[in-house]
Chain A
């Protein structure tokens, strides 16, 4: 029902530092395909029998289907203060104000400790459910947020693409009926990021708050009629070009999606922006809409100033991340726990040497966490070396693991997919996934 306007509870300090690459350059060709699909579907929808709002979700998952939750750390997470080389002299020399002291770190092994804000992750690590991969990046590094994120999101090692697609999008393109499925991949509260862009499939963007959102309440026949009318813009070509058709298709797609997701938004959600996304992610998995890939994001890692050590901006972000992952697994119904893998990434790590503002500038290698019950827990990659001779590209860390090795491992060992076809090249696997679900 429509009610008087009220101000909904939205996060007070919204973090929207996501990266997305829509734009006509890559948008239209993909969208033309979609549009053709939509016209086909429209022909069917014109028939009176099917003019009702049909159920619309990707095929439900069976007990052995994998789900991937990708957590994007926006702004360049400081790998050295996440998995810290505790007790190493060079680390303290380079970071007089922000280094994590050995007594504060959560020891993983001699000389390696987690930032203390990650104490719940440490509990999970101790159960063997976390692979901590260090020194992840590519060489030579690009220090631009946008170029580097693009590189990560494309995840492509082959020859130049005719238009950019993302590694998750290419994975989903290979699933059955991927042209038409709108719930295979979901990005929560952001523009569709490049890694979800496929040639065939389109990801759904879902909000973090529903309130009196349009399309949710379908109690009255008049509401259903309104939704049908909105869909009807897409029953034939709009005559307004590709973007006109895309607008109409988006409206129809919204009508379909809203009918399916409402249950996930019932009940309270955490106020913290990232935790909220993670609890929603768990609930969306619980209602089994057929989602295969889900992405969430946590922003603010571009800590050029006031980064801090055990306390400060970076510690707050890690705390939010830690609690968010904890809440995710708590909200997830038990039968899903063995089917879910959480993967973190960021566009780059940060400079080993702190700048004058208790912060760090853009750097090269960072780290990835893989979290889930089928993970072979432990440390992977190499703790980046900090001795003067070991630093390259203006005082930056070397790369010990190509980020596409992480993707290849996830794609092959977790999703059972053809990593070489999706990444455009064969990358060496890491031994950090015990089995598919």
Chain B
């Protein structure tokens, strides 16, 4: 039977968090059935109608970003959104180049609906979507002058990894992908195959002389060639483990998960099932193994406060999207085709600073919305509790942010600080309110909340 912290950990990684009573209720189930619930069928999502409104594309981008944040914070199937985020960082496209959020939505929703399906099929499907055709320049790829961009990244970043091919293989693959273009005459643009631009000639790819066509490259890498298929399975197993658990996994973990990808013919759901029940996933190494990426961190704050990212009608408080780019992770704008990295990647001064500044802007808003009034402010004002009220207020604030087992260090530093605010207040007044709102600042920057 799983422990309560084990379920909290699982839901932090496979979703965006869980409240303690719900986690505790699940301890009566077996781990396998808890994982089954997470992996349960994905749901269809209604396409946001504003994508068709007569508004600027940047407004749509802003809107869809807010929409997705709120969805991550509230989705009944959090793993579906977590996997959508994983694929977004794997098969990257940037709207800065694609420049049409309707196409970005199509890609995003492909990831969402096929997030735990067949990987090979997903590679096929995303390859021929307009967002990818534009982003990696296959849209104009013509036999008269093959463009190597997509052919290269398909291998280097999407399937087998770097150094698993030669420059000659890339040239051959680029020729194979010629003619798989974009129809610019329709709005929104659509995929079109242009026979007159496709190179029907023989090409030598990975030592095989054939009249290769683009999609056959994918099937060779992920189906026909045992060597390449195995390499790709390990590449993907490592990437999934790194995303959900921690970087640099032991080889046996990679091999085991890769084996599942191979024996199930690329079934992602079965691979995740195996991943989430492994004992290593519940190890100390794992629990301490990942810094929380900015999107996760923001979503956890949305969940904790209950405030949305999408602007509600009227004057109601809500968060805002600015700042995530400086944190290093902006939805629909990955930094490049290789996507986001992890851990130290999020801990540059700039990135950390952006998080600190982002929440800094909202402290008064949270104060005015009465956030933590009962849990913190009322407790601090209840002098009848004596000194115990400081630790209680701190524990309540931590709990509100999903930190149920704080470290001694964090608890001690916060209690020490808040006690001083009350017993030796600074001379500039309103210290009680500042103690309350600054506590939120300190909690979201605590090591516990900054770890995934």
Contacts and interface: CB of A to CB of B under 8 A. Distances in A.
A27 interface: yes
Contacts of A23: 247, 341-345
B407 A207 contact: no
Nearest to B421: A225
Nearest to A232: B413
A23 B242 CA distance: 10
A190 B320 CA distance: 22
Interface in B284-330: 284, 288-291, 320, 322, 325-326, 328, 330
Given A24-B246, A205-B349, A247 B291 contact: yes
Given A24-B343, A205-B349, A221 B147 contact: no
B167 interface: yes
A3 B434 CA distance: 13
A135 to B, nearest CB: 20
Contacts of B100: none
Contact of B349 (A220, A250, A302, A359): A250
Nearest to B168: A394
B315 to A, nearest CB: 12
B354 A8 contact: no
A236 B351 contact: no
Contacts, number: 246
A12 B58 contact: yes
A258 B353 CA distance: 9
Best-surrounded residue of A6, A187, A356 (most CB of chain B within 10 A)? A356
B327 to A, nearest CB: 10
B427 A356 contact: no
Nearest to A225: B426
A238 B171 contact: no
A254 to B, nearest CB: 5
Interface string B116-146: 0000000000000000000001001010111
Nearest to A248: B447
Contact of A24 (B248, B356, B360): B248
A25 B246 CA distance: 11
A332 B193 CA distance: 55
B77 to A, nearest CB: 28
Interface string A247-264: 110110110011000000
Contact of A206 (B152, B248, B350, B427): B350
B289 A214 contact: no
Interface stretch (A114-122, A144-152, A371-379): A144-152
A30 B82 CA distance: 30
A4 interface: yes
A31 interface: yes
Best-surrounded residue of A145, A226, A359 (most CB of chain B within 10 A)? A226
B447 A212 contact: no
B210 interface: no
A362 B145 contact: no
Contact of A189 (B96, B330, B350, B420): B350
Given A24-B248, A222-B426, A233-B409, A357 B341 contact: no
A356 B343 CA distance: 41
A305 B417 CA distance: 57
Given A205-B351, A222-B431, A355-B146, A16 B137 contact: no
B404 interface: no
Nearest to A216: B357
A247 B414 CA distance: 16
B152 A243 contact: no
A212 B358 CA distance: 9
B149 interface: yes
B409 A236 contact: yes
A361 to B, nearest CB: 5
Interface string B388-412: 0000000000000000000111100
B417 to A, nearest CB: 4
Nearest to B171: A394
B446 interface: yes
A396 to B, nearest CB: 9
Contact of B356 (A204, A215, A233): A215
A413 to B, nearest CB: 31
Contact of A361 (B149, B284, B431, B446): B149
B451 A240 contact: yes
Contacts of A355: 145-147
27 contacts: A2-B360, A4-B365, A7-B322, A8-B322, A16-B333, A17-B335, A22-B344, A23-B343, A25-B247, A147-B163, A191-B345, A192-B344, A211-B357, A215-B353, A221-B426, A222-B428, A222-B438, A229-B414, A233-B413, A239-B408, A239-B409, A247-B450, A251-B356, A254-B349, A305-B140, A357-B137, A359-B137
Given A16-B333, A191-B348, A247-B447, 20 more contacts: A4-B364, A5-B320, A16-B325, A20-B341, A189-B350, A205-B348, A207-B353, A213-B360, A222-B438, A228-B417, A229-B438, A230-B356, A233-B410, A240-B407, A243-B290, A246-B347, A248-B447, A355-B145, A355-B147, A357-B137
